[in-house]
Amino acid sequence: MNNASPLGLELTPELLNERLEGYRVAREVGHGAMGIVFEALQRGLERRVAVKVLPPSLSMRDRTVRRFLREAEAMGRLSHTNIVDVYEVGSRGSLHYFAMRYVEGPPLDVALKAGVLGVADVIQVGIDVSAALAHAHARGVLHRDVKPSNLLRDGERVVLTDFGLAKPIDASDEDAMTESGDLVGTPLYMSPEQIVADPGTIDARSDVWGLGATLYELLVGRPPFSGGSAQSILHAILQRDPALLRRQRADVPRDLEAIVLKCLEKNPARRYSGAAGLNADLIALQAGRSVSARPPRLIDPALRWSRRHPYQCAAVILALSTLGIFAGQIRKGQKNIRSIESSRDEAVVKHDQESQGKMLAIARSEMLAAVAEWGSSEIPSIRLHALDRVGHLMQAIPVEEYPQLSAEILRVYASFARKGGLDESTLTALYPAEDASATRVTLMMRAAMLEGLERFDEALRVHRRRAGMSPRAPEPWLDAANAMRQLALLDRANNRESLARARFGEAISMHNVALDRAVRAGDKNMTATVLIERARCLIEIGERALAERNLRDALAHDRARADALALLEASREEPEVASLPPQPGPSAVTASSPPGTVTAPEIATPTPAPELPGTAQSNKGLLGLPLMSGLPSSLELDRQDLTTAGKNLTSIYRGLRDVLRTAANPGGSEGAESGVGAPLPISDQ
């Protein structure tokens, strides 16, 4: 029967004023399945009341009349600030009614049309309604239809009304189904046990479910379960889990989400045992204390599904186990394949390392032999042969793989050519002069040639540019420190000890920067090289204890560094030199310098050192080069630049070879007889 039109036509304020002598009925304010509610004024007391009347068309059925009177009886047994009070229950012939306290505020389903409620407001609604339900349950009354439309605003509080489906807890549930077969309650807020109509499980926990569904809707604006029909809604309640609140509304506290989801547990045993427990948790949440409900876990939906579908769960576990075994076999096979590939790659790398080690060993041996040959005699043809051996080495070593080694060879080659009497202008003309577009490789080779010509102050400026182009690379700082050390040695040879010590201090400062970058890069080879070169400077200023500590640290990074062992032994054998405090000098790194920038110190151009007879001076300078002590393991350089640098080195070698051969042997016969230009035992790559 439609409750909106027919009932409204049967009962009007005029009709009720004739039949209900004690009330002056003003207007209809609401209606439901079990009656129509009118606003009225109770005569005598002159107080506003709400009169709920059972239409005569429904009073013809005794079952309906009993349910209507049971609602009045249930509300009459209750007295709570959050439950609407019942003042009078009466009948006038076939007209049955009861009068209640009139509540001015709207129901919460109407308030929801303006938007969801604030979190604090929802918590307070839950406290009010759970307190009302706890009072009702304590007096043996179940509401069975908790929903937003049955909650009314009454000033600052919310009151529970419409006990039309209420029943005593200890009574039989004979009215669980109506005569038409429809369930008792509103599908959107019905608990699973109400849907299956199991009288043994419908208790206070069903009202907890209804309140949980109500709080869920007040927070996000929609019920926890929905569908296009009552059947689909009921199916969702029985089979699906509600979406997490915090995924729909970020400001919902985790504990509030846990409380609401605990109310909506499908198994009544996992819910609150009654409204009192729910009320205690909500009060604790409002006060900032811990609650008994636990926040949801990622595994909870799977666990709930497995409890509802035990047979399907067993089938899934069996299928997953089979797939797991199959996947394990696949992973085992892939692991074996990777192991084989890894072993093959390791063998290739080891072979390459051995080949590179042999090449570097031959290069070092040939370089030492050339240095010894140069210093063994002042005969032009012999020195020309030593120079030619270094030139062949320049061609044999691939710049693309060993750029730093190639720079060292160029430095030695330029030194030999300068000492052989070649005009510096001719030598520098063979290599591009410094310009704004120079690459890092070009600058490195340019600096190497300048150092070979003992123009260390110019080399320092080139290293400064290199450092600015490679802020994280330690190589430019190490090369700058070595150039500064050579300047200090020249100063010492010219009896400028104060300036020499200042420059040794500058070199050590540059070593410190290079060491920091090498450690950050995790390059053990470079770290050991910097420590060894710093030890050389420390020995020069008499700090032998610090030097030995640096050498031991270098060996800790690379135990195969024979140069560190040799220098350590030499430092112990030499007599002690009184250690003097370093003279103040310009700092290699200033506070305003950006990281990775070498600041060129203000250096006076040193007077060229006189050429000393014999081989000790020349060999000492060459043996101190990084080539003789170990090379950096890697450089971040452009491949195209490296290729261009290799071509430049070849051009330098060929040009100098022709010039020097002509200068040393105008007739051309002596050079041929001495074997100048004989190929080296290194493959030309």
Which CATH number goes with the domain that contains 55?
Answer: 3.30.200.20
Strand partners, 28: 38
**What pLDDT score does 461 carry?**
86
Residue 533's identity, in one-letter code, is: E
> Is residue 334 assigned to a domain?
no
> Which residues neighbour 178 within 8 Å (Cβ) at sequence distance 6 or greater?
184
Report which of residues 389 and 219 the model is more confident about.
Answer: 219
> Is residue 90 assigned to a domain?
yes
List, as one string, the DSSP characters of 206-225.
HHHHHHHHHHHHHHHSS-SS
Which CATH number goes with the domain that contains 255?
Answer: 1.10.510.10
The residue out of 243, 275, 308 marking a domain boundary is: 308
> Is residue 341 assigned to a domain?
no
**What pLDDT score does 407 carry?**
78
Report which of residues 34 and 41 the model is more confident about.
Answer: 41
Residue 93 and residue 118 in one domain: no
Report which of residues 8 and 420 the model is more confident about.
Answer: 420
> Is residue 290 assigned to a domain?
yes
Count of structural domains, the chain:
3
Separation of alpha carbons 269 and 251, rounded Å = 29
> Which residues neighbour 533 within 8 Å (Cβ) at sequence distance 6 or greater?
478, 481, 482, 485, 511, 626, 629
> Is residue 655 assigned to a domain?
no
Which stretch, 25-34, 170-179, 206-215, 289-298, has highest mean pLDDT?
A: 206-215
Q: Which domain holds residue 216?
A: 108-308
Confidence of residue 681 (pLDDT cuts 50, 70, 90): very low
Please say if the pLDDT value at position 231 is more than 90: no
Separation of alpha carbons 129 and 82, rounded Å = 7
Residue 58 and residue 123 in one domain: no
Please say if the pLDDT value at position 574 is more than 80: no
Tokens for 41, please give them. Answer: 């004024």
Strand partners, 27: 39
Residue 50 and residue 153 in one domain: no
> Is residue 372 assigned to a domain?
no
**What pLDDT score does 214 carry?**
97
Phi and psi torsions of 175, nearest 5°: -100, 20
Q: What would the pLDDT profile of 522-550 be if each residue is shown by its tens digit?
A: 888 889 889 999 999 999 898 988 989 99
The structure's pTM equals: 0.46
**What pLDDT score does 40 carry?**
95
The answer to whether 173 touches 214, Cβ cutoff 8 Å, is no
Which CATH number goes with the domain that contains 600?
Answer: 1.25.40.10
Residue 174 and residue 266 in one domain: yes
Confidence of residue 647 (pLDDT cuts 50, 70, 90): low
Separation of alpha carbons 544 and 541, rounded Å = 8
Report which of residues 121 and 370 the model is more confident about.
Answer: 121
Residue 164 and residue 47 in one domain: no
Residue 36 and residue 160 in one domain: no
The residue out of 608, 624, 657 marking a domain boundary is: 608
The answer to whether 477 touches 510, Cβ cutoff 8 Å, is yes
Separation of alpha carbons 472 and 517, rounded Å = 6
**What letter does residue 114 receive in the DSSP assignment?**
G
Q: Taking Cα atoms as reference points, which of 486, 421, 473, 420 lies closest to residue 447?
A: 486
> Is residue 38 assigned to a domain?
yes
Confidence of residue 112 (pLDDT cuts 50, 70, 90): very high
Residue 208 and residue 153 in one domain: yes
Which range is least confidently modeled, 42-51, 56-65, 148-157, 502-511?
56-65
**Please, where are the H alpha helices in 494-584?**
497-521, 524-540, 544-557, 562-573
Strand partners, 51: 38, 99
Please say if the pLDDT value at position 415 is more than 50: yes
> Is residue 635 assigned to a domain?
no
What mean pLDDT, rounded, does the chain reach? 76
Please say if the pLDDT value at position 414 is more than 90: no
Instruction: Say how many C-beta atoms besides its own lie within 10 A of residue 586's C-beta.
Output: 15
Report which of residues 84 and 434 the model is more confident about.
Answer: 84
Report which of residues 241 and 312 the model is more confident about.
Answer: 241
The residue out of 290, 308, 326 marking a domain boundary is: 308
Strand partners, 30: 37
